[in-house]
Amino acid sequence: MLILALNGSPHKNGNTAKLLRMALAEAEQQGAQTEFLQVSEAMAGLKQVYCVQCSTPCKGVCYEGTLLGEMLDTLRQADGMVIGSPVYFGTVSAQLKSFWDKTRKLRKDLALLNVVGGCVVSGGSRFGGQETTMRALQDMMLVQGMTVVGDGFTGDDAGHIGACAKSPVDSDPEVDQRVRILARRVCQVAHATQEIRALSR
């Protein structure tokens, strides 16, 4: 079982990255293979950073032979993923939005249908737009036909919509627990839904 972390922050080792690495550490404890993807690195090498809908259906020509193309191929193999973003004006980072806009070809191919997704978000203040950012992430996943889960798990609690943190995340007393619960939930549902993913691959 492959669980991916997509870091939507431009900072490779910032607060969002720390949350995602917590999630991957828990996924590995659950027996999953994991991989960390730095979204900004894939977008930095493109001539055309933003999707301009140059073809319908999407042919993916704008990222052929690039790091972005390699990352999107990795997404095709995923059973689950945890997507993280810092709060930028109440929503996701520009880097992550541009990356996700480039997944149009994956949508045409049903490549992410029934892949399990969860979210982690970090913000500069306690009530700094974390939940609106998380809902934007969930909407992005739902448009791909993904199965979206929150941070609830048997033996813990029903959870909420995901793991929200106040930066610096090292000082947030509850964040490690919430991220690990989320990761366990992603792994649990990904394991339970392997057969239905196989139908579209």
Peptide bond into 168 cis (omega under 30): yes
What pLDDT shows up at residue 120? 98
What whole-number distance in Å separates Cα of residue 176 and Cα of residue 179? 5
What pLDDT shows up at residue 122? 96
CATH number for the domain spanning 107: value is: 3.40.50.360
What pLDDT shows up at residue 29? 97
Averaged pLDDT in 10-residue chunks for the chain of 201 residues: 97 97 98 98 88 84 90 97 97 97 94 97 91 97 97 91 93 92 97 92 78
What pLDDT shows up at residue 200? 78
Percent of the chain with pLDDT over 90: 82
What whole-number distance in Å separates Cα of residue 138 and Cα of residue 160? 13
What pLDDT shows up at residue 54? 84
**Do the beta carbons of residue 76 and residue 106 sit within 8 Å?**
yes
Number of domains composing the chain: 1
Parent domain of 93: 2-198
Structure confidence by residue, pLDDT tens digits, 118-150 = 999 999 888 889 999 999 999 999 999 999 999
